[in-house]
Amino acid sequence: MYQILIGFLKWAGFLALGYFLYLVYALLVYPYMCWRKYKKYSNVYTTPTFIPILGDLKRINEDMKKGRVHYYEKMQKASEMKGKDIRIKFEGYNPLILLQSNKAIEEFAKLVPSKVDRVNTGRGLGKVGLGTFLFEKSTKRTVMRRKILTSFLSLNSSSRHIPAMMRHTSDVLKPLKQGQSYDFIDIANVLTFNIFTSVLFGDDMVELANRVRPYQNPDGTTSMLPLRDIIINSFKSHFVQIFHPLTATCKPLADANIINPFKRDHENYQVFLEGMKELYKNCKDETSICMQILKNEQTTESEKMSDLNTFILAGAETSSHGIVSTLFFLKKHPETFAKLRKEIQDARINKETVTNESLTREKIEELDYLSCVIKESLRIDGPGAESFFYSAKQNIKLCGVPIPKGFPIKVDLFSGHYNEEYWKDPTNFVPERYDQESEFYKQAEKEGKIGRGFSTRPFSHGFRACPGQSFAVLEMKVAIIVILTLIDYEVDPELFQKDGVGFGIGSTIVPSFKVDWQS
């Protein structure tokens, strides 16, 4: 008996030692070897010194502790990216390639999906997206499902929803009280989720989507929340899972969802899925996207459900952050705000247009300055800082840099937006940079800095780029028109003084805006 025990302890000791050595390799040796390997390439940016375990996350965490947005360091480092095609980012256990230059993105786009493809790392948001095609490889089926979804998102199809976009924007504003301050991310989230519910399932389903359901909080209490807040919180907590020690050290245990926070996050997400199923089952609106998806004979029942989830997961929170950034930068630049408001008024868009929902696509397309404002807002503070994960399907080279099979790759969206080689005064909010008649544009053109081609990246590039751009831009335009027609607002002045303010997804800065109803 004694000998069996000794034998068992010996084996357990060997196993523990083996696992410890594996962790040392995965968390320290492998990232360090990558750092050394890529340091040799003059067109690759690596941090001057190797930062063990946390890697680049150390700087990100420090910025967030100072109340700055998590992608602040991308803006700061943009000038260091001159002449760099690629950057190696270290998230501790997870070295990855971030594509910086236009050349790197151009080469990458040609390789997707034959030699480089979307990959599900199974970490964080990858767990939320299970079943959707968002994080799946480009197989025949995912490509077909992407095509079906894209067909609902063209400018023509999206324009059908302008009345719903107007209605839900003005409905969200109605309860706001004169002179009171609100967190506008909350407001914009209600707005975009209601629009999506209406477009996907019909207006009569908005109430059901807003019905509260149980959500388990980290402190053990339960809150009753609408589906919108359940998925937003779920997103946030799954994102935090990426930094949980178990995700790095024992992923199978994290994936099994048997201990907290993984168990709790999993159960909360199931509540969201059940809620979506209820909307799907109760949908009766023949014109809704849900009904059209239901009629499609090419997809299975579970794919149909997942594809409806894809809309919400990919489309709702992204647009709301875009709307808030636009409102913030407009107020930070009063002359831009006044110019845009005048353009809207000169087009005879007023409270009546909004109340009668009589805004047309043609009318919106007349508003050239609004287009410039939205483009500039998506450049200076777009909803996403990086694309989803890709990986090389075989050993490849990008800009002469070898990338081994399976190495994670992402497109760096923001670094291109802040690159002085592509843009004149990139850190300034100047919508005129898109107006060919303006002095700013003419000067930028002379300097060769009007942000051609791949320098504009809010929706990423290549075969798996965002298919929802037309819908998103139209929705942002309608929301801004309705908001600027019905209310004025004051931004918390402290936000204008602070460095590193931004409202992309993941930002923890609260956009507190005081409402002033227009008489």
The contact set with ligand HEM (CB under 6 A) reads: 118, 133-134, 146, 149, 153, 310-311, 314-315, 318-319, 322, 382-384, 387-388, 411, 458-460, 464-468, 471-472
Classify strands 94-99 and 181-183 as parallel, antiparallel or unpaired.
unpaired
Question: Which of 432, 454, 453, 452 lies closest to 443, judged by CA?
Answer: 432
Task: Write out the two tokens for 374.
Answer: 């939205």
Minimal distance, residue 458 CB to ligand HEM, in Å: 5
- The Cα 440–Cα 315 span in angstroms is 33
Confirm or deny that 399 is annotated as ligand binding: no
Residue 128 or 411 with smaller CB distance to ligand HEM: 411
Residue 38 or 389 with smaller CB distance to ligand HEM: 389
Helices (DSSP H) in 223-300: which residue ranges? Answer: 227-241, 245-249, 251-255, 262-282, 289-295
Task: Write out the two tokens for 151.
Answer: 């067909």
> Residue 397 carries which side chain, given as an amino acid letter?
K
Minimal distance, residue 22 CB to ligand HEM, in Å: 30
| Cβ neighbour number for residue 154 with a 10 Å cutoff | 12
Minimal distance, residue 412 CB to ligand HEM, in Å: 11
- Please count the helices (runs of H) and the strands (runs of E) in the chain: 25, 13
Run of H or E residues at 305: helix 301-332
The residue sitting closest to ligand HEM, measured at its beta carbon, is 468
Residue 314 or 367 with smaller CB distance to ligand HEM: 314
Minimal distance, residue 138 CB to ligand HEM, in Å: 8
Residue 261 or 386 with smaller CB distance to ligand HEM: 386
Residue 196 or 215 with smaller CB distance to ligand HEM: 196
The values of phi and psi at residue 485, to 5°, are: -80, -35
> Residue 416 carries which side chain, given as an amino acid letter?
G
Sheet holding 181-183, edge to edge: 181-183, 512-517, 487-491
Residues 6+ apart with CB under 8 A from 386: 98, 410, 411, 412, 413, 414
Residue 130 or 465 with smaller CB distance to ligand HEM: 465
Minimal distance, residue 345 CB to ligand HEM, in Å: 26
Minimal distance, residue 471 CB to ligand HEM, in Å: 5
**Bind-site residues:** 466
**Bind-site residues for heme:** 466
